[in-house]
Amino acid sequence: MTSVLRRIRIWLLVALGTSLAVPAFASAEGAAFDPAEEFATSAWVDLNLGFIDLSINKAVFYMLASSLIICVFGIVVVRGGMKMKPGKGQNVLEMTYEFAEQQVAEVTLPARVFKKWFPYLATLFLFVAVNNLISFIPLPTAPHTDTFQVVGDLGLYAATANINVTFALALMTFVAFLWEGFGTHGFIGYFKTLVPAGASKGIVPFIFALELLSQVLRLISLSVRLFANMLAGHLLIIMAAGFSILVGSLLGVLGIPFALFFYVFEWVLVAGLQAFIFALLSGIYIGYAAQESH
């Protein structure tokens, strides 16, 4: 355990030091450092199919990288053989599976639809978690500081800090729980469940309007919660690191402990927690819609 903690501390220090040192070097060379540019998502590869924009940008790159990591890791571990005495890879895989099953799916989904929606919730949890975690690894995706550069400087970026990404994920959950609700109760029947039995006829329209609004607001709250938390975390890190870079001298060094604190806090706690909350709420919405009687 001691050796593992030591490795984690070393990795965190190296990662943060690298993310600070490279922009600082660029600044020393005379290139302007603008923290706002860290969240720019200009197209790397333009790909427009009529009204559909499929261009490759920074957010798409991170999502593709996350998907590749998940798929390759799963394939390598499974094809390597599942052993009675598991190795590190199998341990991680089994722990992740059990967590998604016991802490997300089993506590939110009725038994009748568990097998149907567990794969979706587990995939959603994994996808968001890996996206969040790799967003704290310095990668050469920051804006160029040199006209002749081919790749960008090292920087931190989260695809889940882009509202378009989180809205798309929330939209999938929105469609999923409506699909399950219509399938369980019928189109008209599902909307009837929005009004509790025995409600006075005079207040039924108001209750129905409020419940209908709450259904739509799920889409907004689910997407904004993840987006705002990841964006705020990265902004805090960039602001603290940017303070050190822009101010320089001995005074600028004061920003490094704050950047390190926010970095560790976001990576250790917020990244996984936000993935868990997103998947848990998705399961609650789907499970509630699948209840045969409310």
Going residue by residue through the chain (294 aa), what tens digit of pLDDT does each one get?
A: 455 555 555 555 555 554 444 444 444 444 455 555 666 777 778 877 777 777 888 889 999 999 999 999 999 988 877 777 778 888 888 999 999 999 999 999 999 999 999 999 999 999 999 999 999 888 887 665 554 444 556 778 889 999 999 999 999 999 999 999 999 899 998 988 888 777 777 788 888 889 899 999 999 999 999 999 999 988 888 887 777 766 665 666 677 787 788 888 888 889 999 999 999 999 999 999 998 765
Report how far residue 137's alpha carbon sits from residue 154's, in angstroms, rounded to the nearest whole number.
9
Q: Enumerate the β-bridge partners of residue 53.
A: 48
The residue ranges of every structural domain in the chain are 2-290
CA 215-161-73 angle, to 5 degrees, is: 100
